Amino acid sequence: MFSVWRRVVILTAIVALCLIGRSVPLSTTSAQSNPQALRGFDISNLDRNAQACQDFNQFANGGWIARNPIPPAYSRWGNFEKLSEQNLETLHQILEGLVKNPKLAKGSNEQKIADFYASCMDEPLIEKEGFNPLGSELKRIEAIRDQQGVENQIARMHTFRVPVVFGFGAGQDFKNSRNVIAQAVQGGLGLPDRDYYTKTDARSKQTRDEYVKHIANMFALLGDNPQKAQADAQTVLSIETRLAENSVTREQRRNPEANYHKMSLKELSALTPHFDWSRFMKEIGLGMIDTVNVAQPDFFKAVDSLLTNIPVSDWKTYFRWHLLNSAAATLSSKFVEEDFNFNGKYMQGTQEILPRWKRCVASTDRALGQALGQLYIQKTFTPEAKTRAQEMVRNLIAALRDDLSTLSWMSDQTRQRAIAKLEAFMRKIGYPDKWRDYEALQISRGPYYNNAVNAGAFELKRNLTKIGKPLDRTEWGMSPPTVNAYYNPSMNEIVFPAGILQPPFYDPKADDAFNYGGIGAVIGHEMTHGFDDQGAKFDAEGNLENWWTPEDYAKFKERTDCVVKQFDAFEVEPGLHQIGARVVGESVADLGGLTVAFAAYQKSLEGKPRPPDIAGFTPEQRFFLGWAQIWAQNIRPEAARLRVATDPHPLGRFRVNGPLSNMPQFAAAFQCKAGDPMVRPPEKRCQIW
């Protein structure tokens, strides 16, 4: 996934006439420079006191960073967030118009998205209800008396998308990608990652203490006395800690072979003899199946033991917490505020909560994204924009094909398979060819919580009905307004929602150099995910298969290990570094995407007059400025720590300087010299494509 998030998989400047600092011109042809402004970029985004060859991110984005402090309601602020804001406003106008329309057909998509949004915006009703919407479920939890009741509650909470204890759903069979099978994975935690429970440093201990306080505060809002609330919060932490201690790390989860353990139902039952999987599947509405991929068998062995060793009363407390935690955003303001105080203020440093309309627009997009997306497309995405994006994708694929055809370190045997995989890429641009059917989803202008539960139940049922059926290769994993993109190795597809096909990623007013450095590198990034540390293990059909010769894969691994070591060295704050093994996939894709996009841009110039300089910048320099502006960003320290711990994407400043410091093309464009920080010596330079 391209942006600061990632898929399944996750996966959103500049100009002066001279470079301040080093006394060399920006361009060897500056006398011929076009006096017009650099289209698609604000010259004031430059930091004129910085040097491109010392710190290109500061040079390219320093002015923007200084002028764009983080708004109080955000943990970070950059071009992804700004474009997302723009898209939110577009969706807001659409939704407000629908809410005021008295002639919406009952049962239509328009009626459902209007009613969902209206129920979220109905603060008087939400305040009046308090936590009453949870009443019947809280009573059900309180009535649990034995282990069978515990198992039934696990299944019940899964039905409305509260995946307690573990995760379960449909997914492609890694080794037979045309088949959709059931998948069982580790889960059940309230904090973002297992490391938050297992690390012993002072910050991790403080976070656990704050988490316990937060749980206790939430229980108190339900009416518990302080002593019971505190004790129950400790119980929750204890159960989640035991789940975390038996979970594998994020780095281990990056290895698809290590997370593929296909079992028959009989084998799964033998692995977990105290858990009745047949009853679980019946309770979640799934017919009998005979195959499950158990991603982390040792985790499920541990869960089986925990189900018998942890008292039923403690499980009830755990369920109560996860019900409340999942529902907090749909309840009255005191629950929303407490939820924000921990997850927003403490965990990410955010100063204030987003306005309600923004939260409700985003919630509607999550629940009915393709219904809302159809209206978004009509308003924003022209056929011409789609055609231009398709053309650029074709150009990037041609450039990567050329690169694969001439790679000196790859044998012909592997090369042929790599090119076959590239040619087989499914290309999805803008919006789906087939829209999702929401007919079975019931939405009304009643309590917001009820609509959220209905949306969760609908999504689970939609997911489970895929099991045992032919794969639908037309399905999208993101809604059209999303400012993101992704590559899915099991589908061997690259996907670019309409939401990201806008400035600053793609600007029809900018020249090709700028756009190839922006959306071109985005496209290249997603394409080269097909050949990153994970994608390289899947073939053209999306099957987990070793299609490399041993010698070629050893060379490939050596090259990706180079990237790991580089990012291990990037210091986020004193004592805290990026985790190279965690961000290697995205970092390899950044380097590959830029390399391929630059080659594609150069190829696009063949047979044409050389483009003029603009505002003192050569075409090559504009390409790299186009990349840098994507990552103009301010981020709060708390949010940076959270992302280092959980995000497979590096922080923005490292996504600029990291790949560019490996590219001789960049050094040549800005006349950087050996020894400059933005120029790695040949023996330390990472090069893959």
Which are the catalytic amino acids? 526, 590
Tokens representing 512 are 């090709």
Q: Which 3 state secondary structure label does DSSP give 77?
A: strand
DSSP secondary structure string, 349-408? Answer: ---SPPPHHHHHHHHHHHHHHHHHHHHHHHHH--HHHHHHHHHHHHHHHHHHHHHHHH-T
Structural contact between residues 578 and 564, judged by C-beta atoms closer than 8 angstroms: no
H/E stretch holding 572 reads strand 571-573
Looking at this protein, which amino acid is placed at residue 448? Y
Residue 261 in contact with residue 300, Cβ under 8 Å?
no
Give the Å distances, CA to CA, from 67 to 59, 337, 347, 631.
14, 30, 25, 15
- Using DSSP, how many helices (H) and how many strands (E) does the chain show? 28, 11
What is the length of the chain?
Answer: 689
Peptide bond into 504 cis (omega under 30): yes
Both tokens assigned to 496: 């670019």
DSSP letter for 71, please.
P
Residue 593 is which amino acid? Answer: G
Cα–Cα distance for residue pair 137/153, rounded to 1 Å: 10
CB 298 within 8 A of CB 138: no
Q: Residues 500, 485: contact at Cβ < 8 Å?
A: yes
Q: Which two tokens stand for residue 410?
A: 């790859």
Structure tokens at 573: 């704050």
CA distance 496 to 484: 7
Q: How far is CA 369 from CA 410, 466, 497, in A?
A: 42, 19, 12
CB 70 within 8 A of CB 76: yes
Q: Is 78 exposed, middle or buried, given 0-12, 13-18 or 19+ CB atoms closer than 10 A?
A: buried
Q: Are 195 and 644 in contact (CB under 8 A)?
A: no
**What is the distance, to the nearest Å, from the Cα of residue 275 to the centroid of all Cα atoms in its chain?**
33
Residue 544: alpha-carbon gap to chain centroid: 22
User: Helix (H, G, I), strand (E, B), or coil: what is residue 545?
Assistant: coil
Strand partners of residue 617: 614
d(CA 689, CA 678): 19
| CA torsion through residues 51, 55, 61, 63, sign | negative
Six-digit token pair at 278?
């047949």
In whole angstroms, give the CA distance from residue 232 to residue 318.
8
- Which H or E run includes 179? strand 176-186
